[in-house]
Amino acid sequence: MSYKFHQFQVVGRGLPTETDEHPKIYRMKLWATNEVRAKSKFWYFLRKLKKVKKSNGQMLAINEIFEKNPTTIKNYGIWLRYQSRTGYHNMYKEYRDTTLNGGIEQMYTEMASRHRVRHHCIQVIKTATIPAKLCKRESTKQFHNSKIKFPLVFKKVRPPTRKLKTTYKASRPNLFV
């Protein structure tokens, strides 16, 4: 599964000066499509929090963070701040996925579709893995059932490869299971 958004750990600090020999080191975990964008985002956020810019700071480390257990399903809660046409708003969203990157990608696509928010207008404040009984949204809680059972109601039969796709079909396809 290739995800568009990768999680990076970026570590940086201001450059040492005569007054401050050992400036404080700051670490951020953020999502970006590549390392270059991650570094840029890091300085953007750090500028807003501390009096340091890329021109008087140095990057110490940037590492990609991978999912520890991509074979287990988890409930992710994501707190975000986004810019709508009229102002900034905070939001809390829940997603069920196997990896955090997958949950974040779901969030970006859902914000784009439901609220028309492009990904550069979204800031992820916090993410957490939520245990099942603390989930708030019904749409995630409905899958917290160990004996879950449902039929697949609408079954469109697809050709097994894109090459065998045809525009017209001789007979009306049967959609029942």
Partner 1 sequence: MPFKRYVEVGRVALVNYGKDYGKLVVIVDVIDQNRALVDAPDMVRGQMNFKRLTLTDIKIEIKRVPNKKTLIAALEAGDVKNKWENSSWGRKLIVQKKRASLNDFDRFKIMLAKIKKAGVVRQELAKLKKETA
Give contact residues for partner 1 (rule: CB under 8 A). 1, 70-73, 96-98, 140, 143, 146-153, 155-158, 160-161, 176-177
Considering the complex, what minimum distance in angstroms separates the CB of residue 133 from partner 1?
16
Measured from the CB atom, the residue of 86 and 113 that comes closer to partner 1 is 113
Is the Cβ of residue 53 or residue 144 nearer to partner 1 in the bound state? 144
Say how far apart CA 34 and CA 56 lie, in whole Å: 23
| Residue closer to partner 1 (CB basis): 90 or 139 | 139
Nearer to partner 1, 9 or 98 (CB): 98
Residue 158 CB, nearest approach to partner 1 (Å): 6
100, burial (CB in 10 Å: exposed 0-12, middle 13-18, buried 19+): buried
In the bound complex, what is the minimum distance in angstroms from residue 156's beta carbon to partner 1? 8
The CA-based angle 32-33-39, given to 5 degrees, is 50
Apex CA 70: angle with CA 65 and CA 72, to 5°?
135
Least Cβ distance, residue 23 to partner 1 (angstroms)? 44
DSSP secondary structure, 46-79, as one string: HHHHSS--STTEEEEEEEEE--S-TTS-EEEEEE
As measured in angstroms, the least distance from the Cβ of 53 to partner 1 is 42
Q: Which two tokens stand for residue 121?
A: 């207008």
Q: Which is nearer to partner 1, 87 or 131 (CB)?
A: 131
Tell me whether strands 88-97 and 122-130 are parallel, antiparallel or unpaired.
unpaired
